[in-house]
């Protein structure tokens, strides 16, 4: 089942995130990112030409996100959470998949503004139809039943990259 949670992160976590992402994007560590082109299975890249850049968050930010997810019942105290920064470059996206390698996945949208014309829309399969969720700042989308989903291409003309935090729960 797909569930959404508005205002998922506390002000403290948002501050930690802002400090960390600014340092990673503009600091000495800015070159140490994994790239979907090399790290994702071929099926995830079907019809996708752009790249998604990924890097695990610091332990401090990971724990702060975990605590926020715990506070709203998304995770249980005994579950492990791995939080990863995702930078969705222009022309990137992800093909239809179900995240069967984990118990639950959570995407947290981090762009303060996002226009649907820029793409990067989360699309998922219901029993008989498809639904879509527009990225909205500090909103989480949880997939707890391996629902098939994808992210549409981020437009080559988008003025910004799509930014998320991906949470893998086991």
Mean pLDDT of 106-131: 96
36, 45 contact by CB (below 8 A): yes
Domains of the chain by residue range: 2-27+36-169
Mean pLDDT of 8-33: 86
Band of the pLDDT at 152, cuts 50, 70, 90?
very high
- Report pLDDT digits (tens) over 24-70: 887 666 568 888 988 888 888 888 889 999 999 999 999 999 999 99
Secondary structure element (H or E) that encloses residue 133, with its range? strand 130-133
**What CATH number does the domain located at 2-27+36-169 have?**
2.60.120.620
């Amino acid at each position: 089942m797909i569930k959404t949670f508005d205002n998922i992160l506390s002000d403290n976590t948002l501050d930690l995130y802002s400090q960390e992402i600014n340092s990673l994007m503009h600091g000495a560590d800015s070159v140490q990112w994994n790239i979907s082109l090399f790290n994702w299975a071929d099926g995830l890249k079907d019809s996708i030409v752009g790249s998604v850049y990924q890097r695990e968050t610091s332990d401090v930010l990971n724990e702060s996100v975990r605590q926020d997810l715990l506070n709203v019942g998304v995770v249980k105290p005994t579950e492990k959470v791995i939080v990863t920064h995702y930078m969705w470059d222009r022309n990137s996206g992800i093909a239809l998949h179900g995240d069967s390698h984990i118990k639950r996945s959570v995407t947290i949208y981090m762009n303060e503004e996002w226009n649907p014309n820029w793409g990067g829309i989360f699309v998922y399969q219901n029993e008989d139809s498809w639904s879509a969720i527009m990225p909205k700042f500090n909103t989480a989308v949880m997939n707890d039943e391996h629902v098939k989903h994808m992210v549409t291409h981020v437009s080559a003309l988008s003025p910004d990259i799509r930014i998320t935090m991906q949470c893998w729960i086991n």
